[in-house]
């Protein structure tokens, strides 16, 4: 039995939730995956998996073994990368994830510059607004917006972004310009999923946070749709500052209530940080951090 292969299949099956998913990931028959994990259980003389028609789950022994397998496989991978020169020269593939709009506007230009400077490194950039798990989803680096929970991950701050209320000049000319958060109660607002409740928005007055009920004639599920509706004069919306940079430059939108904005959200480069960093990751961090800081200052 190839124990490392069996460990890899066991970890992949639990991470993906099924033996068939592990089969697809490794490109081997489902029956082979099932047999190799069964051989591993016989070798250990214990059951590792609870098999059901809906999802695989680890037994108590399987949960402890899963953590050990991940640690061992990480160490083997690190040894192989060292032998292959990944810790001496920047080479290999970097997997990076970032929020969709922020990634397109700010991360992608940095990535293209990095690729030009480091021709032996390839990058897989995944743009998604869901929070991805670095280890489980096989990412080397994530760009995160917002306060980070306590974890074993290493974070490098590169700036901050604001949550801003904005509207088109045409809307403000017709309905007036709000000067306090309470004024929003008489205006049409356009909330969208993921940033604020459709019923109220919070602001800062002095040192206190105050919720303000907003009247929404239109609710949407993306920032882009909310911005387009605001430009069309439907009402006011609240978005992240980087999402309306082009609309502000063109004069299509104006920022309102700046003095009442909540505290900015930090932007961070986040990585697992275990052991010696591959040179490709260290090189990207050194390249990207100052450039993202400069872009966010602008």
Domains and CATH numbers, the chain: 3-83 (1.10.10.10), 92-144+275-297 (3.40.190.10), 163-260 (3.40.190.10)
Residue 289 has what pLDDT?
A: 95
* Statement: residue 196 has pLDDT above 60: no
Q: Are 189 and 178 in contact, with CB atoms under 8 Å apart?
A: no
- Residue 120 to residue 117: CA distance in whole angstroms: 9
CA distances from 80 to 13, 83, 84, 100 (A): 23, 5, 6, 33
- Residue 236 to residue 187: CA distance in whole angstroms: 8
Residue 27 has what pLDDT?
A: 87
H/E run at residue 270: strand 265-271
- Residue 230 to residue 170: CA distance in whole angstroms: 10
Q: Are strands 254-256 and 163-167 parallel, antiparallel or unpaired?
A: antiparallel
As a whole number of Å, the end-to-end CA separation of the chain is 57
Integer-rounded Cα Rg, in Å, for the chain is 24
Q: Are 214 and 191 in contact, with CB atoms under 8 Å apart?
A: yes
* Statement: residue 91 has pLDDT above 90: no
CA 187 to chain centre: 33
CA 51 to chain centre: 31
pLDDT confidence of 116, banded at 50, 70, 90?
Answer: very high
pLDDT, tens only, 216-240: 889 888 888 999 999 999 999 999 9
- Residue 65 to residue 41: CA distance in whole angstroms: 11
pLDDT confidence of 119, banded at 50, 70, 90?
Answer: very high
- Residue 242 to residue 164: CA distance in whole angstroms: 10
Say what the pTM is: 0.64
Q: How many CB atoms lie within 10 A of CB 231?
A: 19
Packing angle, helices 60-83 and 3-16, rounded to 10:
120
Residue 88 has what pLDDT?
A: 62
């Amino acid at each position: 039995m190839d124990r490392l292969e069996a460990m890899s299949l066991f970890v992949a099956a639990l991470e993906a939730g099924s033996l068939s998913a592990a089969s697809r990931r490794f490109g081997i028959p489902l029956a082979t995956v099932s047999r190799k994990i069964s051989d591993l259980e016989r070798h250990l003389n214990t059951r590792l998996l609870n098999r059901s028609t809906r999802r695989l789950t680890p037994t108590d022994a399987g949960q402890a073994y899963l953590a050990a397998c991940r640690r061992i496989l990480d160490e083997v991978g690190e040894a192989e990368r060292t032998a292959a020169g990944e810790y001496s020269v920047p080479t290999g593939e970097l997997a990076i994830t970032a929020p969709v709009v922020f990634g397109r506007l700010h991360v992608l230009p940095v990535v293209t510059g990095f690729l030009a400077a480091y021709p032996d490194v390839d990058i897989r950039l995944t743009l998604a607004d869901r929070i991805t798990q670095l280890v489980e989803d096989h990412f080397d680096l994530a760009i995160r917006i917002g306060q980070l929970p306590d974890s074993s991950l290493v974070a490098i701050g590169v700036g901050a972004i604001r949550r801003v209320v904005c509207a088109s000049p045409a809307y403000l000319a017709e309905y007036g310009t709000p000067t306090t958060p309470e004024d929003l109660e008489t205006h049409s607002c356009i909330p969208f999923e993921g940033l604020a409740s459709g019923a109220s928005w919070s602001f800062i007055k002095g040192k206190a946070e105050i919720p303000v009920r907003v009247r929404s004639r239109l609710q949407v599920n993306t920032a882009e749709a909310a911005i387009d509706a605001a430009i069309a004069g439907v009402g006011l919306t609240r978005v992240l500052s980087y999402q309306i940079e082009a609309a502000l430059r063109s004069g299509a939108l104006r920022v309102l209530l700046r003095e009442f904005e909540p505290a900015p959200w930090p932007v961070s480069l986040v990585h697992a940080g275990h052991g010696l960093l591959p040179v490709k990751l260290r090189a990207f961090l050194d390249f990207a951090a100052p450039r993202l800081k400069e872009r966010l200052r602008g």
